[in-house]
Chain A
Amino acid sequence: MRADLELIYGWVPDDARILDLGCGDGTLLAALARHKNVTGYGLEIDPEGISACLTKGVNVLEQNLDDGLGNFVDDACDLVIMTQALQVLRRPDAMLDEMLRVAPECIIAFPNFAYWKHRLHLTFRGRMPVSRSLPHAWYDTPNIHLSTFRDFANLCRDKGVTIVDEAVGSAEHEGHWTSRLWPNLFGETAIFRVRRGR
């Protein structure tokens, strides 16, 4: 499992009802269903991801996140998870509201634009960063709302959303000590666990 998913897996309580936004091939949901008795749905628009979910027996809905979560009632589930999707949304702030409407708690993982390699790329090469976590060129990237670890923390503060847990990881060594110390600089992927209200 991807490092960020590994970390998130550990944060999900047993028997939770969850919604996984941009669930990909359903790896996380399948593992949670098998080992933690978790139930829920994945939302995905990639046809291959959808078929992979069906093969795993993961409930998957073809639904564009930019259309919102209007088909889910308030408190439809216990936890909403969204990994690597925040930065492609038209309105990430509105999505955060939606996520915390359908569940009291959510977990969000996204590429940290302030990661030191990205900073070096911009500072010394004068070009938009291209990296393992941001593999696209500026002109064809789906990432229209890149942000930093600190940006997201500020958004939560402005919205009155409580940060329960935060972490950064890289695909290789998640939880490395340097990233604990200076997450905004050394974290490649930012992961937040937030709760409705203060």
Chain B
Amino acid sequence: MSASFPSDSVGLVTPQTATFESPLALACGKTLEHFELVYETYGTLNAERSNAVLICHALSGHHHAAGFHAADELKPGWWDAYIGPGKVIDTERFFVVSLNNLGGCHGSTGPGSIDPQTGRQWGPTFPVMTVADWVHSQARLADRLGIDRFAAVVGGSLGGMQAMQWTIAYPERVANVAVIAATPRLSAQNIAFNEVARQAIRSDPDFHDGWYADHGAIPKLGLKLARMIGHITYLSEHSMGSRFGRDLRSDQLNFGYDVEFQVESYLRHQGDTFSTRFDANTYLLMTKALDYFDPAGQHDGDLAAALAPADCPFLVVSFTTDWRFAPARSQELVNALLRAGKAVSYVNVDSPHGHDAFLLPNDQYESVFGSFMRRIDAQLNGGAS
């Protein structure tokens, strides 16, 4: 059966669940008394337990980053282009850990889980999570797996924020960090897009103030709109233009409001697919985590001061046509790291694909990111200092 998978795939993977019984105090003031994290691992932890790489996921991501859950699964994990044998995050060299964050809807404790206090689903009462909360929960998972220090913590977009937060919260547990297509804080425009997405969900009659499960309903229309808005911000004007242009689905204009342009059809399809596989309360919570992230906020806006605890080499990568988290946002992070005197490398990768570029194959990106990872591997094996 495994013969049916590509040779550079990690192949068949099985998610695991870690259960934590000791309470986790959250930034919002509440406490999760008990929680579960669903995760996958690829590769083998070495005897020194020093070759672990943590993958942090983005807004709509989850633990399934690489490989296949079944022989007939059509698409591999969301970052399969970069994780696998011989790939940038080489599973023949690294032990890769990828989890679903708390508040998620792919198996970890979240709005769809049962609140032990009430015996019913958490729904909208699930605590609003922050990036810092996630990082604390990830550290618990690392404890469980016997990983004192990650060889690298890696993430794109919202995942990049978690990677950044790791260097602030647990500097002694991170040997290297890669912050990709991220930002040290959202702009007003970013928050505005998130708010429109949230309003789309919350104003759906099927939302029922977040208690849609009790009503046997799903706020599909709201989720669909939220995803359509989000998706526009993930692509660049150029990538949308080259993919769809002004192409029509039929030969002529119909002077009506049905789908006419290919881009409309594409967005509706993306929205429809998403609305059946993602949870509305999780979407709301994830966008809030994005909005709240601002490590400089606790230091009078001084990002360099916020990053003072960081004690590992950073790789910061942005993409030329990313307008969601534009290169200038990554450069803000880089310049703060320079002011703080930290080890940092920065590359602005040439890509036409906008924010989504961090997920897609790209020679320059692979070369840069691959060189960084190979260096880490060489150090683990006592190579050049």
Chain A residues with CB under 8 Å of chain B are: 34, 39, 41, 47-48, 50-63, 71-73, 76
What is the interface size of chain B, counting residues whose CB is below 8 A from a CB of the partner?
24
A71 proximity list for chain B (CB < 8 A): 331, 334-335, 338
B262 CB-CB contact with A under 8 Å: no
Give the CA-CA distance A57 to B368 in the complex, in Å: 12
Known A47-B367, A54-B368; judge A73-B343 contact (CB<8 A).
no
Contact A51 B375 (CB under 8 A): no
Interface centre among B370, B371, B372, B374 (most CB of A within 10 A): B371
A56 proximity list for chain B (CB < 8 A): 375, 384
The interface stretch among B131-139, B142-150, B344-352 is B344-352
Contact B334 A55 (CB under 8 A): no
Enumerate B347-385 residues with CB–CB distance to A below 8 Å. 347-348, 364, 367-368, 370-372, 374-375, 379, 384-385
Give the CA-CA distance A61 to B334 in the complex, in Å: 9
Contact A51 B367 (CB under 8 A): yes
B238 CB-CB contact with A under 8 Å: no
7 smallest CB-CB distances across A and B, nearest first, come from: A54-B371, A51-B371, A71-B335, A55-B371, A51-B367, A61-B346, A62-B347
Nearest to A70 among chain B residues (CB) is: B335
Cβ 8 A contact of B375, one of A47, A54, A73:
A54
Give the CA-CA distance A50 to B348 in the complex, in Å: 11
Give the CA-CA distance A76 to B313 in the complex, in Å: 18
List 18 contacting pairs A-B, 8 Å CB cutoff, sorted by A.
Answer: A34-B384, A41-B344, A50-B345, A51-B368, A54-B345, A54-B372, A54-B375, A55-B371, A55-B374, A55-B375, A56-B384, A57-B379, A57-B385, A59-B343, A59-B345, A62-B347, A71-B331, A71-B338
Contact B346 A57 (CB under 8 A): no
Give the CA-CA distance A48 to B372 in the complex, in Å: 13
Extra A-B contacts (15), CB below 8 Å, given A50-B347, A55-B374, A61-B345: A47-B367, A50-B345, A50-B368, A54-B315, A54-B372, A54-B375, A55-B371, A55-B375, A59-B343, A59-B344, A59-B345, A60-B345, A62-B348, A71-B331, A71-B334
